[in-house]
Amino acid sequence: MTSVPSRDILVLLSSNGLKSRIVLEHLLEDSWFVDQFDLGAVVDRTDGEVPKILSEANVPHEVASAPKTPVEEMLDVFPNGPEYIVSVGWSHYVPPDAIELALIESLNCHGSYLPEYRGPNAYRATWANGRETGGASVHVMTDEFDDGRIIRRERFNIGPFDTPREIGYRASELTAGLVRESILLIESGYEGIENEGGSYYERISWPKTIVHGCINNLARLSGVDWRWEIDPR
């Protein structure tokens, strides 16, 4: 693996988020990543597993007093601005003034193979529609949700008995590697590919998720091609 100069990376994390916890744990266990990059974080609350992990690992971090406007806390962690900002499970809109703090690039981690399944909780819509594959993507952040050039993305297979949580877990595990690969690609001058078309799903309630998911995965098990898919926005 090619070495890169030391870089400051600020991650935006949900204090209780599955993706935030899994990606953070994987990055901290990656000795190469820890050696190459200086990690700092902003979390949205004081409680939860993520702040505890950050404290135990001595990662400098701040709690956003107003998660929709986290600029002050981001600058408390890296006063001169980080080279990279990476949103990992951050459940709030990241405003343009926060995105622009990155000296090189601001990235977002999304739990689908973009441009498919844009929107929050992509793993729910993927399972509810009885899809046979899921994915994870890292893309450049813009002022639009799940927009911006795609740097890295990858698919994985979904079994007929996989649960929504298992899909979310698998996407989260995949994301940690994609973050590292994306930064290395950007360091080499790669600008990504256009993120056009696809579908966008609003937040789907659990009752609706379960009803559609049970019917569609039963159809899948029965070898039926028909699906009662949830309509995208």
**217-222 long-range Cβ contacts below 8 angstroms, 24+ apart:** 217/127, 217/130, 217/160, 217/161, 219/130, 220/130, 220/132, 220/160, 221/160
Alpha-carbon span 183 to 190, nearest angstrom: 9
pLDDT at 1: 47
Q: Which of 3-7, 29-33, 111-115, 222-226 has the lowest mean pLDDT?
A: 3-7
Written as six digits, the tokens of 162 are 């996989």
Q: Which residues contact 50 (CB under 8 A, 6 or more apart)?
A: 13, 14, 15, 16, 17, 20, 21, 24, 43
**In a 3-state reduction of DSSP, which class is residue 77?**
helix
Cα diameter, the chain: 58
* pLDDT tens column, 178-187: 999 999 999 9
Written as six digits, the tokens of 191 are 């600008």
Alpha-carbon span 53 to 11, nearest angstrom: 13
* pLDDT tens column, 57-100: 999 999 999 999 999 999 999 999 999 999 999 989 999 999 99
4 and 83 in contact (C-beta within 8 Å)? no
Q: How far is CA 139 from CA 40, 105, 107, 111, 194, in A?
A: 20, 10, 6, 11, 10
pLDDT at 4: 53
**In a 3-state reduction of DSSP, which class is residue 220?**
helix
Domains by residue range for the chain, with CATH:
7-221 (3.40.50.170)
